[in-house]
Structure 1
Amino acid sequence: MSPRLGTRHECGVLVLTTNQPEDHSFWVDIGTAARSGQFALGLLFFSQDCFPPELIRNRMSEHASGLVYAACSTAGEIGGPQSDTGQCLAVLFPKNNFFATTVRIDGIRSIGFDRIVAQVKEARQTFERASNNLGKDADQGEIFAVCLIDGMSVVEEMVTAALHWALEDIPLLGGSAGDSMRFTQTSLIHNGDIGDDCALVLFFKSAVPFKIFKTDNFVPTERKLVVTRSDPERRIIYEFNATKAATEYARAVGIDPSSLSPMSFASHPLVVRVGGEYYCRSVQKMNADGSLSFFCAIDDGIVLTVAEPTGMTRSTNEAFENVVREIGDVDFVLGFDCVLRRIDAQNRQATQRIQKIYQKYNVVGFNTYGEQYLSMHLNQTFTGIAFARPAQNTGERT
């Protein structure tokens, strides 16, 4: 497979990818696109094991200093020349179909709900005023927002709720940045500024019809685990049912505690019932003391249910088919897919089938440490925004 691949979709979105950190032509292509003045904003998703954030910043400064962009590190990339991780993907949105702006929220671990609401509400109002001053086409198109957030911040629920409150009726989706399953430090870049403990919010007004959607593939069982001792601030559970957490979890899923691994957690997610629906509260890792760290919020007294994944290929395909029924043929999809779904697909030898679905619908995105969807922070879910195809011809390869 070629180390570099480019696609210009029918809506004008340009996708460039590489798996070679020293691929000079990749950065030259981004620079050429930026200097054309045709693009409103760039999104970059990168493996920081292969593409250090400083490299991203320096190359963008050298080749595309005039392009507004947001970037985040991943737990895997979707849509490039290889199927796992070790890539850098650039998604450039054209001005003729998209109006876009960005805002960076710093210090999300300490800033508090009200200050996030105020900052995002001000940014939203500024965006709406600017988009309404575009001229005769101002009334054309719908608005959506994308969130990229530090996946090690442990405050995604609070931030997502604050964003939902500030955005009002603007739909939100996004993903938590990853660090290739090291669980040490993620990286986000906003126009050259590198950091963590932050969130990037991107506002889009799209002249292209779109549909925001999600899909998961788990069903609850009858097996219950009650959180009897935890550290909610750090998302650590020490005890289930008054027993060491790892031991009780392993018993509930029928695995020897010494065999617990990311594959175990991906194959046997835990879910919580909220408003009649079940949402994943996925295990991130087992700690040396037998406690379990989680990707989502937990607390004492919460009742978690052991779930079993079922039919990932079927449920994923059905979700995309439902989108097609609603908006017609899909041009491309910006997708945020939990890393545990990728691991579970590998466990069940479904990776190639899932990849074929993503390739069919031109999915570009990354594997996350959590997904944002409207007002919810989720796990073990695919969230995406599908853009309708304006014509029948396929994207042009470059």
Structure 2
Amino acid sequence: MKINAPALAYAGCSTAGEITPRGLEEGQILALLLPSASFSVASTMVDSLSSSGMDRITDEVGALRRSLQGRVGYERTNTTFALCFIDGLSYAEEAVTSAIHWGLDDIPLIGGSAGDDLKFETTRLISNGRVTSDSAIIVLITTEIPFHVFKTDNFVPTDEKLVVTASDPDQRTVREFNATNAAEEYAASVGVIPQMLTPLSFASHPVVVKVGGEFYCRSIQKMHADGSLSFFCAIDDGVVLSIAQPKGMVESTRAALRDVEDRLGGIDMILGFDCVLRRLDARNRQVFREISELYKVNNVIGFGTYGEQYRSMHLNQTFTGIAFGERQAAE
């Protein structure tokens, strides 16, 4: 298929797997086109995240809002949402997400961190002919089509605690839990030997942190030769983590999608950002096919991420999405 649309603006990123109309796949190129009759869009790319001040990002969001408002002639937060794509190896997602959220006020934010199929080498951001790393793309969208932003996960905290006692916050690396080698202490807590730790181990036994009365996942990316552990999310000395016990992924995802359908009176399609660790865990627990079919029948498209953005938070091991209802249902 060839599309001749030289004036078409676009934004995207590299991934860690795709969610296609056929379900979960890998090695695919996925495109979602927003018809101009129903959507008005403005976007910007923020370069050099590692050296950018957060005020600059907030200012970029303000300029983006003014640009979109000038185009459509108004701004209503209940008809506007924001997407973001962020370098998943930038170590800056928390600060960038917070800065974007601050500039958006009540406009909901949803997004995903770019991946590179678990190589952990380089991720790419793509915007109107530019291909970069250490960047973020912010897309502001206004539509009269009803939508709902949501998230779902499948873990519950246990009483098993890991306190970060030695870390490198800039590199998101933990050297010690409970004054003991990080890999050894984590492995003992989940009942395996350190030499057996793999990405599947981390996906199957996530750790969570309590923020504002709610638990959020702080997923482990990989183990180093010295027994230190790299994380997908920000980490620091003194942070108290709880070992989490996964619950049924299929059942919790189905319940979340059913709730969205009830809210909208029907689902036309969902743009979803699905943590790569959920995909690994689904394979490990032999529910990959069921999750893939669930996404397919609910018209989910999107990609596997190195982290998810939801309003002001950067998350891991979570499915975040924006669901669109049918215009007829709204009318």
| TM tier, smaller | over 0.9
Give 1:191's aligned residue: 128
Aligned to 2:165: 228
Which of 281, 285, 289 is the equivalent residue of 2:222?
A: 285
1:213 to 135, 150, 156: 150
Q: Deviations over 1:159-195 (max 9, x none)?
A: 0000000011110000000000000100011101010
Letter aligned with residue 144 of structure 1? F
* Alpha-carbon distance change, 130 to 283 in structure 1, aligned in 2, over 3 angstroms: same
In structure 2, what is the Cα distance between the partners aligned to 1:140 and 1:95? 19
Among 145, 153, 159, the residue aligned to 2:96: 159
Q: Give unpaired runs (5+ residues) of structure 1.
A: 1-24, 35-64, 393-398
Residue 173 (structure 1) aligned with residue 110 (structure 2): yes
Give me the whole-angstrom Cα distance separating, in 2, the residues matched to 1:320 and 1:82.
Answer: 15
CA contact (8 A) 2:85 2:136 kept: yes
Which amino acid in structure 1 is aligned with residue 50 of structure 2?
A: R
* SS of residue paired to 2:98: helix
Counterpart-to-counterpart distance in 2, 1:98 and 1:292: 43
User: Residues 77 and 107 of structure 2 are in contact (CA less than 8 Å); yes or no, is this contact kept in structure 1?
Assistant: no
Letter in 1 for 2:32: V
Q: CA RMSD in A?
A: 1.5
Residue 62 of structure 2 is aligned to residue 121 of structure 1: yes
User: For the pair shown, which has the larger CA radius of gyration, 1 or 2?
Assistant: 1
What amino acid sits opposite 1:68 in the alignment?
A: A
Query: 1:74 corresponds to which letter in structure 2?
Result: T
| Aligned-partner Cα distance in 2 for 1:361–1:132 | 34
**What CA distance in whole angstroms lies between the structure 2 residues aligned with 1:139 and 1:109?**
32
Give how far 1:390 is off.
Answer: 3.7
1:41 aligned residue: none
Matched position secondary structure for 2:201: helix
**CA distance in structure 1 between the aligned counterparts of 2:107 and 2:78, rounded to whole angstroms:** 13
SS of 1:117's partner is: helix
Q: For 1:105, which of 29, 32, 46 is the aligned residue?
A: 46
Equivalent position SS for 1:185: coil
C-alpha distance 72-140 of structure 1, shift in aligned 2 (>3 A): closer
1:91 aligns with 2:32: yes
Q: Within 5 Å, which residues of 2 pair with 1:377-388? A: 377-388=314-325
Structure 1 residue 212, shift from structure 2 partner: 0.5
Residues 232, 297 of structure 1: 8 Å contact kept: yes
Counterparts of 1:315 and 1:180 in 2: how far apart (Å)? Answer: 25
Letter of the aligned partner of 1:236 in structure 2? T
- Matches of 1:288 and 1:319, distance apart in 2: 39
**CA–CA distance in structure 1, aligned partners of residues 316 and 323 of structure 2:** 20
Q: Name the TM-score, length of structure 2 as normaliser.
A: 0.97
Aligned counterparts of 2:108 and 2:30: Cα–Cα separation in 1: 24
Alignment gaps of 5+ in structure 2? none
Counterpart in 1 of 2:252? Answer: 315
* Conservation of the 8 A alpha-carbon contact between 2:208 and 2:243: yes
- Distance in 2 of aligned mates of 1:92 and 1:157: 28
Alignment partners' CA distance in 1, 2:70 and 2:327 = 28
C-alpha separation in 2, matches of 1:271 and 1:189: 32
Instruction: Pick from 55, 58, 71 the counterpart of residue 130 of structure 1.
Output: 71
Q: Which amino acid aligns with 2:42?
A: T
**Alignment partner for residue 236 of structure 2, among 299, 324, 330?**
299
- TM-score scaled by length of structure 1: 0.81
**Which residues of 2 match residues 1-398 of structure 1 at below 5 A?**
25=1, 28=2, 31-32=3-4, 34=5, 65-81=6-22, 83-132=24-73, 142-390=79-327
In 2, the alpha carbon distance for the partners of 1:82 and 1:357 equals: 8
* Greater relative CO (CA pairs within 8 A, separation 6+): 2
Post-superposition CA distance 1:352-378 (Å, at most 9, x none): 111111011110000000000000000
Counterpart amino acid of 1:73?
Answer: S
Q: Percent identity?
A: 54
Q: Contact 2:158–2:245 at 8 Å: present in 1 too?
A: yes
